[in-house]
Amino acid sequence: MVQGIPNPSLTPDEARSAQDVLLEQECILRYERFGADEALRLGGIVASLTSDFDEGVSVTITRESDGVKMFQWVADDKSERNLLFAEGKRAAARKAGHAGPWAQLQAAIDGDTSHVWDNAPAEVPACGAFPIRVQDEWMATIAVSGYHNGLDHEIILRAMERALGITAPRWSAPVM
């Protein structure tokens, strides 16, 4: 355990399966265009979905071409710490080239999760960061912090599904 974060307990097969689902989610949840209006709408959807959960989150949408925060919102029960973790999730996603938990899943596939959290909070390879792509170009990243047990990823999926009018598959593995 590093900084109070438990190592994920995934078998290599569970991790492989979750990685396959994550790739499918990334292929399905793509925009035709993504700019300020879409960022505002997506961020607003995340904020509205917090009523489905027991607490709030922080959400940031960052344009990757220049690092500009296109949208940022923090629920009353969250703090600067959540923004720090959201940025760490974004950094881990950018490094991996995929959504936040990719490196966590890869470590489980490789059979050594002992170093998953070594760079936290600068890099947090956990659920809660997702690439916003237009075709194959990674235009922006949505990062959410505030929930546990993969629910940061779930709220992102629900928001993107609502914004795009499509449904993405889910995994059943215990991914953080």
The alpha carbon of residue 42 and the mean position of all alpha carbons in its chain are separated, in whole angstroms, by 14
Tokens linked to 10: 């995934």
Cβ contact 99:129 at 8 Å: yes
Domain boundaries, the chain: 12-164
At 57, is the secondary structure helix, strand, or coil? Answer: coil
Tens of pLDDT, residue by residue over 118-155, are 999 999 999 999 999 999 999 999 999 998 878 899 99
Q: For the residues of 19-42, what is the DSSP string, one character each?
A: HHHHHHHHHHSEES--SHHHHHHH
pTM over the 0.95 mark:
no
Architecture of the structural domain at 12-164: 2-Layer Sandwich (3.30)
* Distance separating alpha carbons of residues 141 and 132, to the nearest angstrom: 5
